[in-house]
């Protein structure tokens, strides 16, 4: 019985495919046979596949090595860090570089600043982008089209061009050297990106959903808040991660707009180079501590993030 | 008391639009305005209107034209290499199919790393004396001396060396976008080409690349804009040196503003830079992308 069903199903799909060769094949998944005759570009022959796996392994080793070397170096003794010739693995594993780096004045404070700035910027970004993106996609007005183009142009503005005027604006508002000022600056970067991302997520929500809600007596804002937002909560999470990363990793605005009080960790890492001579060991340790949480977070949430990245780029 | 849909849409967009107007458009306006003044770097110092003098000085200075060419060369190298590598990886992942999924994720890891950390990490690999790359090449017998190539100290090659972290950081992005594009190519189209006897190069150049065109265009434009603004990675590796050989536009503007204390000149340079970027981006979008109808 099952077999029969399957056959008819297959016959049906192949007929559709034959009738409309240009149709999107997303629904038409030909059955896979093990080893041979894979779909589309996928390699079938075992020999080819082995070769491809070897190629992939080589690429992954090359690509992963720089960061692994940073990690290994961070566990060397401060002297071995700059030994000539260098070794790949530490001769002696120690946490000395970590205790040195984290014990330095201002390092822990910079972590708190980084977290604070990134959280404020993420919240601000979402608060502004979610309604704006909804207004753009749901009502397709002329102003919406102009606005999303303007957001696109904003992305082309070199930060170095607006950094100084922005810094003097913040100073005149009495906000200089505060996490608030820096997070506002970071939001100028993440807001356009967040608007695009959210717009593509809202695009996927069927209109009938909030129409039904408004018929039931919900206001339009109520429908957005109670019906649409829960549906796109996954998209909001992805957008939040992107806004957070944009702020967490940002350097130029942080360099221009912060002094001692609100300095974020990227600036501190860069300062190791001048302020304390060339302290490579501490620098590698701090860089590792700063990068690993976000790498782990990403690997944990990988599916969602990959989806968001491609969406943002392909939609662009 | 129901406002029209159009008003409501406007109401939703207003906060974001106001934010961008105040914190992006206004500083840009200040930038353009400052470019017509000679400004003392001391706060509250004199401001004298000098007309186009700053622009004349910018175009007359070798530092500015040099930085322009270097920015162009840097952008072309970065985008070309990461496109080639990204496409290679995307094809590799596609040909391996679903079983490569975990590795696809692992391949994304540099995207999460701060550019400043990436720059640092590559500087550590390429630096003279205790840099690992020179040592490994020496041990492999390729170089007679670990310092034979001065990755970051030879003015002839430094511009390409400082591009490496940028390429390393964002090849993953290229790969990701192109991979997504490859998944949308109908399998039967590939099948048909294969039955017609298309070999690998024909398959790539006659079928895959033309079909990927819109995706490629977006990826190149997005990455081109980013590469042309590169700052963090270069600052940490060489600070624009030696002898300004790796000084790109962002660095030059930054130094003119901060080190040389000439905000007027820096603003003029920034304005020219911004206009050039907008012109190139619009040209690229108009010719290769052919913008879609929606959004």
Give the integer Cα–Cα distance in Å for B153 and B155. 6
Q: Is residue A139 part of a domain?
A: yes
Cα B194 to the center of its chain, rounded Å: 37
Q: Do B187 and A245 touch (CB under 8 A)?
A: no
Residue A148 and residue A79 share a domain: no
- Interface test mutation site (partner A, options B7, B15, B24, max chain A beta carbons within 10 A): B24
Residue A115 and residue A235 share a domain: yes
Q: Is residue A40 part of a domain?
A: no
CB atoms within 10 A of CB B210: 9
Look at the block and give the residue holding tokens 């974001």: B16
Q: Is residue B174 part of a domain?
A: yes
Give the integer Cα–Cα distance in Å for A20 and B186. 12
Instruction: State the number of CA atoms in the 13 A half-sphere of A17 facing the CB.
Output: 19
Give the integer Cα–Cα distance in Å for B182 and A29. 16
Give the integer Cα–Cα distance in Å for A305 and B13. 26
User: pLDDT, tens digit, for every residue of A214-244?
Assistant: 777 778 888 888 888 888 888 888 889 889 9
Residues on chain B touching A156 (C-beta within 8 angstroms): 225, 274, 277-278, 281
Q: Given A33, A64, A94, which residue is the final one in a domain?
A: A94
Q: Do A287 and B5 touch (CB under 8 A)?
A: no
Quote the number of domains for chain A: 2
Quote the number of domains for chain B: 1
Q: Is residue A13 part of a domain?
A: no
Structural domain harbouring B267: 64-96+107-289
Q: Given A94, A129, A156, which residue is the final one in a domain?
A: A94
Q: Is residue A16 part of a domain?
A: no
Q: How many residues does chain B have?
A: 295
Q: Is residue A113 part of a domain?
A: yes
Q: Is residue A37 part of a domain?
A: no
Look at residue A310 in the predicted model and tell me its pLDDT: 62
- Interface test mutation site (partner B, options A165, A253, A304, max chain B beta carbons within 10 A): A165
Q: Do B112 and A298 touch (CB under 8 A)?
A: yes
Q: Do A269 and B23 touch (CB under 8 A)?
A: no
Q: Which of B95, B103, B263 sits opposite A164 (nearest CB)?
A: B263
Question: What does residue B238 show for φ and ψ, rounded to 5 degrees?
Answer: -135, -10
Give the integer Cα–Cα distance in Å for B230 and B71. 9
Residue A206 and residue A252 share a domain: yes
Residue A140 and residue A86 share a domain: no
Q: Do A191 and B122 touch (CB under 8 A)?
A: no
**Residue in B with minimal Cα distance to A314:** B215
3 state DSSP class of A134: helix
User: Residue A154 in contact with residue B24, Cβ under 8 Å?
Assistant: yes
Residue A133 and residue A60 share a domain: no
Residue A128 and residue A206 share a domain: yes
DSSP A255-276: HHH--STT--HHHHHHHTTTBT
Look at the block and give the residue holding tokens 């860090």: A81
Residue A110 and residue A244 share a domain: yes
Tens place of pLDDT for every residue, chain B, 295 residues? Answer: 567 888 888 899 999 999 999 999 999 999 999 999 988 877 667 788 888 999 999 999 999 999 999 999 999 999 999 999 999 999 999 988 888 888 888 888 888 899 999 999 999 899 887 888 888 888 888 888 878 888 888 889 999 999 999 999 999 989 988 988 888 888 888 888 888 887 888 888 888 888 888 788 878 888 888 899 999 999 999 988 788 899 999 999 999 988 888 889 999 999 999 999 888 878 877 776 554 434 3
User: Residue B190 in contact with residue B207, Cβ under 8 Å?
Assistant: yes
Q: Which of B24, B114, B135 sits opposite A162 (nearest CB)?
A: B24
* Mean pLDDT score, A4-21: 38
- Interface test mutation site (partner A, options B102, B180, B188, B241, max chain A beta carbons within 10 A): B188
- pTM attached to this predicted model: 0.85
Q: Which of A59, A60, A147 sits opposite B13 (nearest CB)?
A: A147
Q: Is residue A275 part of a domain?
A: yes
CB atoms within 10 A of CB B43: 7
Q: What share of chain A is helix, strand, coil (3-state, %, to 5)?
A: 70, 0, 25
Residue A260 and residue A133 share a domain: yes
pLDDT class of A309 with cuts at 50, 70, 90: low
**Residue in A with minimal Cα distance to B17:** A147
Q: Is residue B47 part of a domain?
A: no
Give the distance from residue B156's alpha carbon to the nearest chain A alpha carbon, in angstroms. 24
Residues on chain B touching A191 (C-beta within 8 angstroms): 16, 19-20
Quick check: bond before A73 cis, omega within 30?
no
- What CATH number is associated with residue A245? 1.10.3720.10
Structural domain harbouring A231: 106-315
B47 - beta bridge partners?
A: B39
Give the integer Cα–Cα distance in Å for B108 and B93. 13
Q: Is residue B8 part of a domain?
A: no
Residue A83 and residue A54 share a domain: yes
Residue A121 and residue A222 share a domain: yes
**Residue in A with minimal Cα distance to B200:** A41
Q: Given A66, A94, A122, which residue is the final one in a domain?
A: A94
Look at the block and give the residue holding tokens 């999107």: A24
Q: Do B12 and A132 touch (CB under 8 A)?
A: yes
Q: Is residue A11 part of a domain?
A: no
Q: Is residue B155 part of a domain?
A: yes
Residue A287 and residue A264 share a domain: yes
Q: Is residue B232 part of a domain?
A: yes
Q: Which of B89, B112, B228 sits opposite A295 (nearest CB)?
A: B112
Residues on chain B touching A132 (C-beta within 8 angstroms): 12-13, 15-17
- What CATH number is associated with residue B231? 1.10.3720.10
């Amino acid at each position: 019985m099952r077999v029969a069903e399957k056959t008819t199903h297959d016959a049906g799909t192949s007929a559709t495919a034959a009738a409309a060769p240009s149709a999107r094949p997303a629904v038409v998944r030909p059955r896979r046979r093990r080893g041979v005759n894979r779909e589309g570009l996928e390699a079938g022959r075992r020999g080819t596949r082995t070769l491809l796996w070897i190629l992939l392994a080589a690429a992954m080793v090359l690509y992963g090595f720089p960061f692994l070397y940073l990690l290994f170096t961070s566990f060397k003794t401060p002297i071995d860090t700059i030994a000539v010739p260098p070794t790949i693995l530490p001769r002696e594993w120690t946490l000395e570089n970590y205790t040195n780096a984290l014990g330095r004045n201002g390092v822990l404070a910079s972590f708190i600043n980084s977290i604070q700035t990134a959280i404020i910027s993420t919240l601000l970004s979402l608060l502004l982008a979610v309604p704006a993106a909804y207004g753009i996609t749901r009502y397709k007005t002329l102003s919406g089209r102009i606005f999303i183009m303007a957001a696109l142009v904003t992305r082309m503005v070199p930060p170095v061009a607006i950094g100084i005027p922005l810094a003097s604006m913040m100073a005149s508002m009495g906000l200089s050297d505060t996490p608030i000022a820096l997070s506002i600056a970071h939001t100028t970067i993440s807001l356009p990106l967040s608007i695009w991302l959210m717009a593509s997520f809202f695009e996927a929500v069927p209109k009938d959903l909030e129409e039904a809600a408004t018929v039931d007596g919900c206001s339009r804002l109520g429908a957005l808040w109670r019906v649409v937002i829960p549906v796109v909560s996954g998209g909001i999470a992805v957008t939040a991660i992107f806004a957070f990363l944009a702020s967490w990793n940002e350097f130029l605005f942080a360099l221009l707009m912060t002094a001692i009080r609100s300095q974020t960790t990227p600036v501190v890492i860069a300062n190791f180079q001048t302020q304390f001579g060339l302290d490579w060991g501490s620098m590698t340790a701090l860089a590792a501590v700063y990068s690993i949480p976000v790498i782990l977070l990403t690997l944990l949430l990988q599916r969602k993030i990959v989806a968001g990245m491609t969406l943002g780029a392909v939609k662009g | 008391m129901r406002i029209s849909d159009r008003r409501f849409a406007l109401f939703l967009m207003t906060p974001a639009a106001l934010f961008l107007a105040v914190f992006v458009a206004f500083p840009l306006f200040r930038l353009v305005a400052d470019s017509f003044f000679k400004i003392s770097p001391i706060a509250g110092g004199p401001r004298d209107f000098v007309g186009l003098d700053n622009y004349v000085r910018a175009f007359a200075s070798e530092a500015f034209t040099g930085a322009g060419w270097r920015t162009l060369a840097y952008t072309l190298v970065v985008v070309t290499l990461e496109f080639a590598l990204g496409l290679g990886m995307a094809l590799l992942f596609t040909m391996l199919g679903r079983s490569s999924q975990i590795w696809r994720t692992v391949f994304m890891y540099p995207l999460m790393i701060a550019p400043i950390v990436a720059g640092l990490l590559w500087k550590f690999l390429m630096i003279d004396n205790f840099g690992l790359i020179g040592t490994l090449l020496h041990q492999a017998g390729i170089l007679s001396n670990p310092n034979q190539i001065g990755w970051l100290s030879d003015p002839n090659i430094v511009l390409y060396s400082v591009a490496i972290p940028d390429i390393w950081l964002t090849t993953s992005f290229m790969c990701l976008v192109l991979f997504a594009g490859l998944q949308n190519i109908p399998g039967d189209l590939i099948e048909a080409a294969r039955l017609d006897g298309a070999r690998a190069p024909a398959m790539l150049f006659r079928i895959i690349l033309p079909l990927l065109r819109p995706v490629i265009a977006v990826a190149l434009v997005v990455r081109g804009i980013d590469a042309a603004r590169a700052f963090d990675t270069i600052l940490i590796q060489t600070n624009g040196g030696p002898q300004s050989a790796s000084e790109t536009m962002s660095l030059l503007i930054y130094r003119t503003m901060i080190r040389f204390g000439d905000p007027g000149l820096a603003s003029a340079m920034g304005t020219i830079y911004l206009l050039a970027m907008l012109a190139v981006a619009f040209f690229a979008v108009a010719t290769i992308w052919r913008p879609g109808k929606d959004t």
